[in-house]
Chains A and B, each alone.
Chain A
Amino acid sequence: MTDLENAWDDLPVSTAPIDAVLRAGRRDEPRRRPVPRPGLRTATAFGAVAAAFVAGVVVADPGGSGGDVPSAASGPASGAGAGGQAGAGPIDAESLAITPAAFHGELQAPTSCGALLEHYQDRAEDLRIGPVGLRDRSDLPRPLPALSAPALDSAELVGTTGSYASDTGTTVQEAGVDEPDAVKTDGDLLVRIRGSELTTYDVGGPEVEELASLDLDDLHDGELLLAGDTVVVIGNDGSPPRYDAAGLPLGSFPRTTTPAVPEQTRVVTVDVTDPAAPREVRTVDYDAGLITARQHGEAIRLVLRKGVPDLGLGRRARRVAEQRIAATTLDDWLPRVSVDGGEDRRLLECDRVAVPRADTGLVTMAVVGFDAGTADGGAGADPTAGLDTLGLAGEASMAYESTDHLYLAANDADYSAGTTHVYDFALDGRGASYVGAGEAEGTLRDRWSMDETDGVLRLALGASSETGNWNSIVTMRARGDELVELGRLERLGVGEDITAVRWFDGLALLVTFRQIDPLYAVDLTDARTPRLIGELKIPGFSSYLHPLGTQRLVGVGEGPQPSGGWGAQLGLFDVTDLTSPDRLDVVSYGPRSRALAGRDPRQLTWLPQQRVVLSVITRGRAVYVSRLQLGAGRMRNEMTRVEWGSDADVVRLVPVVGDDSAGGAIGGQVPRAVLVTGEDVRFFDVD
């Protein structure tokens, strides 16, 4: 340390260039107030930016004011061209030193399309060119463990979720925010997708009745959202994921252990106004991979990620590689969109792509919002019509949406992966606008580790190079354009990993694991001082917590079995008094059994009226539904075998309440569950 202190003193520092500073300051002064009529200042500035962008994209009109370009044709803008930039020639960075209102602070808008392209090219050249093309610098390629559970909804390793099924029968993370699933229902109509086949069923009668099916051709890995009479199918065209020579997914920078997903997203809109004759309305293709899709009412929002383009660099010499990078255009870096197989277009305009100050990788994230209902054929051939888009030139592939915020998060790619960057976007219908950004020490496992309540973002962070060997709860709030840390509770589960988190208004329940399963209750009523209020240690661990109400909680996980060995278990917890949570009962499913809801919460269903929990369990190749009847602090288990083999993952139990959800049995509508298996859709006997 004293060596460093000596180095500090020893550094020969020149004398301060005071004169140059003063000159620069004075020179800038008049330029900063060039507008003749102060009342028009804002409009002028924006006009100038618009003109610059158009000039950058379209053209070649260096000296022009841009007056002949539509978007710059308004009066004040032309005025600015004459007043502010007179004789300035091509775009003068200085006179454009304002950014569109969308980005500020941690996220910056490029000054022009040329500048954005230069950003991508320079970042690419910063990377070492290796035998597999673009590579990160030698000190970076370690996999980032914190990103190991990707944002892919179906591949969660750890998860917690909301307590009630969404309006369309899916067990989701956040009340009011629907998530895609292979099955959706509105109570009468049930739609499922299997492979490329979309099938409609009537579930309003005594038996499930198949109505019609529609082949969507080249649609793979499809999942559904249901908005009124419109089904939105989200999948891909079957393009294989790209791998590099090391067998790792290509297109990720820095390297993460993110599983390879096709870098293509296909969205097919299907009209089910007549459920017996579903009609394909529109197909929209994006050349970027899907991170998440969410639905708020009519508004649907996709988060897409376009990786490093394949420039065919291979084992090329550095000089060749540099030439190829220099030859790239923005079309290589920015995602594109096309409708019904038509000509593709750039999805993001340059001024909609923000560049984070932090070095978070060479990929591009796109947030795309649209209304399910308006996505009909009438919109014409322009693929970008009706899309609300926003881009981010960096990695942020963990996405969490609350009812009015979208958070994108990524770990620091610049140095050791110890810091999590979070970008906050406010949502308004299908639109999103940038609020601010922040960072927190620790690693974020996945979207389940984030939650927003009353404008406070709460994070459950694992250990990183920036923290001690423990987990933390951190609260953050937007102040100006920054997310600032309000409070932090450290030393949760020293030396252990987070396996599940559940958030409530003023509370977090957190499970960590090493050998025993501590369940922590953290009081968040004062966001500035998160407080540990209770702790329960039991054998095994839960990977998914499902609250049943104010008093009971179910934990799905695994642990030692009474008959010996290790297997699935489901615990019933009394959380009435959070200072001493208690386990009332546990059901063990036998050695080598697995409770699939621990990985995909959509495989657990809670039917509050019957006080029944249904979940999918596997033992060997046999797939069961476990029906747990709750009563008097106990669980009575009944197993029904429903499927064999690998179709276990598609098994769902969808609650169908019918029209009169409040009336329950009294109104003549008994809540039921539809069992969906690989080949079959039928009612499951709940009672």
Chain B
Amino acid sequence: MDDADFADWARDAWGSLVRSAVFLGCSLHEAEDVAQSTLERCYRNWPSVARADNRSAYVYRVLLNCLRDSRRRRWWGERPSEVVPERRDDTTPADEVLATVDAVHRAMADLARSQRDVVVLRYFAGLSEAETATALGVPPGTVKSRLSRALGKLAGDAHLLDLRPEAARERRTARRRSEVEDPADPADHPAEGARP
């Protein structure tokens, strides 16, 4: 077992795994737990994971299983996983993270679970159609049809207005500017110019 290989791969995969779990309905903390269990399972089977042609399909399949298991975990009284130390950089205030996660959940809530799975794996995590199909255990045609319906639904979603990422970014930039006195390029934030 080559730990260094695994570590390199895991560092790359981490962000997408956590984000996928959030998009699939977890809080940020739960998402990190789920992503960690996913990595643990992958580590145990690393020789076969490393060899697999469709590694992403395998890994995301594990993620989906961990996610379902985690919803049952407290019901089953499993050991809680080791406490994850806080390593988050503190540039984003907690309430803003909460607001973002919440808005994502509201937007995704209009999708059925199977649509949500497809849209997260194929669209956000960037798996190929074939990998998504393998991860979900459905034919590629189904991936295609679920994805188009899901995207159609998301396109007309009113909850997304709540996200206003520009506004959030703007607030963050303004705060940083006042602290560090490092004015950002106003061209990045056209909305700011519109303000009186």
A residues neighboring B (CB under 8 Å):
1, 3-8, 10-18, 20-25, 28-29, 93-94, 108, 110-111, 114-115, 118-119, 122-123, 355, 357-359, 412, 414-416, 418-419, 439, 441, 465-466, 482, 484-485, 488
Contacts and interface: CB of A to CB of B under 8 A. Distances in A.
Given A7-B103, A110-B76, A22 B7 contact: yes
Interface stretch (B16-24, B48-56, B173-181, B187-195): B16-24
Contacts of A359: 71
A8 B23 contact: yes
With a 10 A CB-CB cut-off, give which of A13, A23, A108, A482 has the most chain B CB atoms: A13
Contact of A14 (B39, B74, B88): B88
Contacts of A415: 111-113
Contact of B43 (A25, A122, A414, A482): A25
Interface string B72-107: 101111110110111111011000010011011001
The majority secondary structure among interface residues of chain A is mixed
A355 B72 contact: yes
B146 interface: yes
A119 B14 contact: no
B154 interface: yes
B15 A485 contact: no
Q: How large is the interface on B (under 10, 10 to 19, 20 to 34, 35 or more residues)?
A: 35 or more
Nearest to A439: B114
A79 B84 CA distance: 37
Contacts of B138: 484-485
Contact of A3 (B32, B36, B89, B163): B163
A7 B165 contact: yes
Given A7-B165, A21-B10, A1 B154 contact: yes
Contact of A20 (B6, B82, B160): B82
A3 B84 contact: no
Contacts of B114: 418-419, 439, 441, 466
Given A11-B28, A466-B146, A16 B11 contact: yes
Given A3-B165, A20-B36, A122-B74, A14 B87 contact: yes
Contacts of A466: 112, 114-115, 146, 149
Contacts of B13: 16
A17 B165 contact: no
Nearest to B139: A485
B141 interface: yes
With a 10 A CB-CB cut-off, give which of B15, B23, B75, B139 has the most chain A CB atoms: B75
Interface in B16-48: 18-19, 22-23, 28, 32, 36, 39-40, 43-44
A8 B36 contact: no
A21 B40 contact: yes
Contacts of B182: none
A119 B104 contact: no
Contact of A22 (B32, B43, B77, B161): B43
Nearest to B20: A8
Contacts of B59: none
